[in-house]
Structure 1
Amino acid sequence: MTNEPAARGSWRQYEDLGLPKPLAAALEAFVEQGYHGASIRDIAARAGLSVPGLYHHYPSKQALLIGLTTVVMGELLERTGVAEMEAGPDPSDRFDAVIESLLRFHMFRREQSFVASSELRSMEPEGRANYIAQRDAQQKQVDRIVRDGVESGVFAAEYPEDASRAVVTMCVAVAQWYRPDGELSPDELVERYLGISRCTVGAERI
């Protein structure tokens, strides 16, 4: 195993997330049955564990949900951060890279993203607050890029933060409807939705 840095553009590449068996089992159960419909006994069986064995790793169903959403949001923030850094200083390039990263994430991590978003209502206060803080950090990244674009004259959005929020909401919603066997390939979807996103912020380059 080496400590070599990841290749440039690696934020576009997706492999199996390698979730621990209890989290992978919880994800499967939450997607199929919802948080409240899934039972600890079923999750344990899917993970190949006894119920006490599952509790040894995760003391409650809530801990499974929080563990899953923490992994999901951590990966999302890392990918969009690297995408922006590699794009350089130009606001247009940074915007394109971060929006592309958001789109690809919500395609290739659609089940994880869907659970994290739809089960916010099921999180207890501390877990909910942590998740919202991570979600807000993602939104603020895009807000900052759009403001930079408006200030430098490459974006013409009259209401930068509203435009930014509309774009992020559109990207997140991809997880609700995207299917690998659908009409658009990932690259085609990125191209189409980048065009919509650029229009939304009033970008010169469309």
Structure 2
Amino acid sequence: MTAPDLADWRTYDAPTLPRVLDAALERFAEQGYHGTSIRDLAAEAGLSVPGVYHHYKSKQEILLALMMAVMDELLERSEAALAGAPDDPSAQFDALVESLLRFHMFRRRQAFVGSSEIRSLLPDNRQRYVERRDEQQRMLDRVVEAGAASGVFGTPYPADAARAVASLCVGVASWYREDGPLAPDELVARHLVLARGLVQA
């Protein structure tokens, strides 16, 4: 996958997945992993079945590659948001929450497949993916723990609060629509209020 230009991590252009993974995203989002055949993927990608196998050994390898590519983009954007924020827990919290919110607004299909198809990964592949996913949670955990330790956040339960904030952000993917009543900046502003409340900022 071509790495996104993260000079502005708030900016979302069209995803730049390789041809087969782009096809997999479309089909897995519509039909699910188990409802999609290699022949379906080949047709969506405009390739022959042997053409798909030239790039990937199996449908399972395609699923893992897609899910890891999605997680890589999420992590890269989160790291860029933290790197650009002032070195204090409150500013870093706001930047990380905003990054998570925007990702789950503008990469809804990717987030859906990443969440719903964990069950379809073979055990070793699932472990690899969950380890990457947990890196995102640890970023948020560290910021909330630092804020609680310094007294910036009042929550007595920083780990629980960090998980609740992550769930708030991830949940946006299930209902946000670009033609809905809230513009992206409005949604971010409202959800930052909610997230700050969870950590008692």
Q: Same fold (TM over 0.5)?
A: yes
* 1:93 alignment partner in structure 2: 91
Count of residue pairs the alignment pairs up: 197
Question: Displacement, 1:38?
Answer: 1.0
* 1:45 alignment partner in structure 2: 43
Query: The residue matched to 2:156 in structure 1 has which SS?
Result: coil
Q: Distance in 2 between matches of 1:63 and 1:184?
A: 38
Alignment match of 2:65 (pick from 49, 64, 67): 67
RMSD: 1.1
How do 1:154-173 and structure 2 match up within 5 A?
154-173=152-171
Query: The residue matched to 2:84 in structure 1 has which SS?
Result: helix
Q: Could you tell me which amino acid in structure 2 is paired with residue 47 of structure 1? A: A
How do 1:130-141 and structure 2 match up within 5 A?
130-141=128-139
Q: TM-score, normalised by structure 2?
A: 0.95
Deviation string, structure 1 residues 128-166 (Cα, Å, up to 9, x no partner): 001110111110110100011111111001100000000
Query: The residue matched to 1:12 in structure 2 has which SS?
Result: coil
Task: Give ranges in structure 2 of 5+ residues lacking alignment.
Answer: none
Q: Is the 8 A contact 2:6 2:80 kept in 1?
A: no
Alignment match of 2:56 (pick from 55, 58, 69): 58
Q: Could you tell me which amino acid in structure 2 is paired with residue 148 of structure 1? A: A
Q: TM-score, normalised by structure 1?
A: 0.93
Deviation string, structure 1 residues 75-116 (Cα, Å, up to 9, x no partner): 111110111111021100000000000000011111011101
* 2:183 alignment partner in structure 1: 185
Q: Distance in 2 between matches of 1:202 and 1:56?
A: 53
Q: Could you tell me which amino acid in structure 1 is paired with residue 139 of structure 2? A: Q
Question: Displacement, 1:175?
Answer: 1.3
Q: Could you tell me which amino acid in structure 2 is paired with residue 106 of structure 1? A: H
Runs of 4+ in 1 over 2 A off after TM superposition: none
Question: Displacement, 1:173?
Answer: 1.4
